[in-house]
């Protein structure tokens, strides 16, 4: 916005003309010719003499600070109703939406071909309509149950919480935070129930019991996954339409298999009060803290193993937290606010205790291999605790001189929650000079637990991703454990995490054995 203002001010200074015809023009009002605006105001006095149609929207330079939904200009009774329904904060967060639609393009669920029109602008319009209906119904019926809230579920569910719409928004609305608030509100008022598959996964991620993790992993993810893949192939990949939340709806595409063993299977004996220090054969003095997260530790453990290998190759000693920690993002995304806060607090305490116990060491990095883990660790100030930057493992090792080479053309899928902030293609290009690296657009459709909770939404998004993947050939590299699940639902697509691709490029035949040996002799550190 500041750059646009500078360009338009320079245009006027050079005796140029700023036009207001592109979009709705509200960002250009202050730069338009005064005579043109005078004529426009005169026209408005005849067309809208009482100034009822979006008052001052196209005449006031401070338009971005105005509120355009009538009941958001709260009167006494409306304010009391919204406070009762805990809608006040939600209403405030979207009250300045100017309906410009800039959020459409980056939105993962805006896909007209599959009838997904739930981009943030439309959802804001729908939410204001629901609130208007709620206020009207409460005052007419004298009811306090707020039944119009039941329609909020569809709005809240159609979001991958990626924050991509916030950057182009002229009034800085974060639809991800709005969606989480909506889900928490629905859960609090019991208008929304968490589906059984999602509850099972959240319980699994929240448990630190070794016995429970082993049981759920084998029964649900290994045996249950095998049954689902067989059933999905029999069904033939038909997308769920009639009963989108039924158990059969989960058969719209086969889930990929998880690793045979979790990362912790290679740990030496220790308990939940121990961290592990994994040292390279020739330490170079650098120490890093690596947080694998649920996806890289429990489900796709090769990601964590590859990351440890890369860090050891870079000469860094690696500090690992106790097994079976979760960053808390899945719980928070599913409106389990208390569980998410407990997990975040537990991580904060454990990180602080590890840092205190290793106070004699200087950490070079607090590293992750998952975008949602990065977001959660940023919220608990992990970088401040370790006094080290929060970085992706791949970026860290490449910047320290590790130089693997990719020989074949590859494709890159950027996750919704991107721990590389859009630099994935550039990093791959450094590994493959002269070899084409193509970006594959659109969300993978998995979106954490979205595919479990709303397979109908995921199936539509999967169809769009499938069309994008069909336009190229070769393996697809990504930087997110959950995206391996989404990409792996496409038949004939080989998906690999960036850390694994780097490890394979360095030592395709032996890096797993190297990591197994170093893990077996890791030093437990009690805290």
Strand order across the beta sheet in which 363-368 lies: 390-392, 363-368, 286-290, 316-320, 274-278, 523-526
- Residue 394 φ then ψ, to 5°: -60, -45
pLDDT confidence of 509, banded at 50, 70, 90? confident
DSSP, res 108? T
- Residue 495 φ then ψ, to 5°: -110, 135
* 260-291 confidence digits (pLDDT tens): 999 999 999 988 899 999 999 887 889 999 99
**Over the range 481-518, which residues count as b (16 or more CB within 10 Å of their CB) and which as e?**
bbbbbbbbbbeebebbbbbbbbbbbbeeeebbebbeeb
Higher pLDDT, 309 or 53: 309
CA–CA separation, 46 vs 457, rounded Å? 46
pLDDT confidence of 33, banded at 50, 70, 90? confident
What are the DSSP calls for 122-149, one per residue?
A: HHHHHHHHHHHHHHHHHHHH--SS-GGG
DSSP, res 250? G
- The mean pLDDT of the chain is 88
Mean pLDDT of 74-87: 72
Look up the pTM and report it.
Answer: 0.85
Q: Is residue 470 over pLDDT 70? A: yes
Longest dimension (CA), the chain: 83
pLDDT of residue 373: 97
Which residue, 228, 219, 351, is CA-closest to 290? 351
* 111-160 confidence digits (pLDDT tens): 998 888 999 999 999 998 888 888 888 887 877 788 888 889 999 999 99
Q: Is residue 240 over pLDDT 70? A: no
pLDDT confidence of 508, banded at 50, 70, 90? confident
- Residue 396 φ then ψ, to 5°: -60, -50
Which residue, 469, 293, 447, 477, is CA-closest to 376? 293
Query: Does residue 364 contact residue 286 with C-beta atoms inside 8 Å?
Result: yes
* 89-101 confidence digits (pLDDT tens): 888 888 888 888 8
* 443-467 confidence digits (pLDDT tens): 999 998 999 999 989 999 999 999 9
Mean pLDDT of 367-392: 97
pLDDT of residue 492: 86
- Residue 14 φ then ψ, to 5°: -90, 15
Mean pLDDT of 49-58: 76
Show Cβ contacts of residue 398 under 8 Å, excluding neighbours closer than 6 positions.
427, 430, 431, 502
């Amino acid at each position: 916005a500041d750059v646009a203002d500078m360009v338009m001010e320079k245009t006027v200074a050079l005796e140029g003309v700023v036009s207001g015809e592109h979009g709705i023009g509200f960002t250009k009002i202050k730069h338009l010719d005064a005579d043109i605006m005078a004529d426009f105001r005169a026209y408005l006095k005849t067309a809208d003499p009482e100034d009822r149609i979006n008052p001052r929207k196209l005449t006031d330079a401070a338009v971005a600070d105005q509120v355009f939904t009538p009941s958001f200009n709260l009167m006494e009774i409306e304010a009391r109703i919204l406070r009762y329904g805990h809608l006040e904060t939600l209403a405030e967060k979207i009250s300045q939406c100017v309906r410009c639609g800039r959020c459409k393009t980056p939105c993962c669920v805006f896909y007209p071909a599959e009838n997904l029109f739930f981009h943030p602008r439309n959802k804001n319009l729908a939410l204001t309509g629901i609130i208007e209906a709620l206020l009207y119904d409460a005052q007419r019926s004298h009811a306090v149950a707020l039944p119009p809230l039941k329609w909020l579920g569809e709005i809240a569910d159609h979001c991958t919480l990626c924050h991509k719409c916030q950057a182009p928004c002229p009034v800085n609305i974060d639809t991800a935070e709005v969606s989480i608030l909506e889900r928490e509100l629905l859960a609090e008022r019991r208008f929304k129930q968490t589906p059984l598959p999602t509850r099972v996964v959240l319980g699994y991620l929240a448990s630190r019991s070794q016995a429970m993790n082993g049981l759920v992993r084998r029964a649900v993810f290994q045996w249950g996954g095998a049954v689902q893949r067989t059933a999905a192939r029999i069904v033939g990949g038909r997308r769920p339409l009639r009963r989108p939340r039924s158990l059969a709806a989960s058969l719209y595409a086969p889930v990929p298999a998880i690793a045979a063993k979790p990362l912790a299977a290679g740990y030496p004996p220790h308990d939940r009060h121990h961290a592990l220090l994994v040292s390279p054969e020739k330490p170079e003095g650098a120490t890093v803290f690596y947080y694998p997260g649920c996806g890289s530790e429990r489900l796709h453990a090769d990601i964590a193993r590859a990351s440890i290998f890369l860090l050891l190759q870079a000469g860094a000693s690696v500090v690992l937290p106790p097994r079976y920690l979760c960053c808390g993002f899945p719980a928070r995304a599913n409106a389990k606010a208390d569980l998410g806060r407990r997990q975040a607090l537990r991580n904060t305490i454990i990180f602080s205790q590890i840092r205190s116990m290793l106070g004699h060491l200087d950490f070079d990095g607090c590293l992750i291999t998952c975008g949602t883990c990065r977001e959660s660790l940023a919220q608990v100030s992990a970088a401040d605790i370790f006094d080290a930057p929060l970085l992706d493992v791949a970026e860290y090792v490449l910047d320290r001189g590790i130089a693997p080479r990719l020989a074949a053309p590859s494709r890159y899928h950027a996750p919704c929650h991107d721990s590389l902030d859009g630099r994935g293609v550039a990093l791959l290009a450094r590994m493959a000079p002269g070899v084409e690296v193509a970006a594959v657009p659109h969300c993978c459709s998995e979106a954490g637990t979205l595919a479990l909770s709303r397979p109908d939404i995921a199936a539509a998004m999967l169809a769009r991703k499938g069309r994008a993947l069909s336009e190229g050939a070769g393996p697809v590299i990504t930087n997110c454990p959950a995206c391996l699940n989404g990409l792996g639902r496409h038949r004939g697509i080989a998906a690999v995490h960036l850390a694994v691709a780097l490890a394979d490029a360095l030592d395709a035949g032996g890096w797993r054995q190297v990591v197994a040996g170093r893990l077996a002799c890791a030093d437990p550190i009690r805290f």
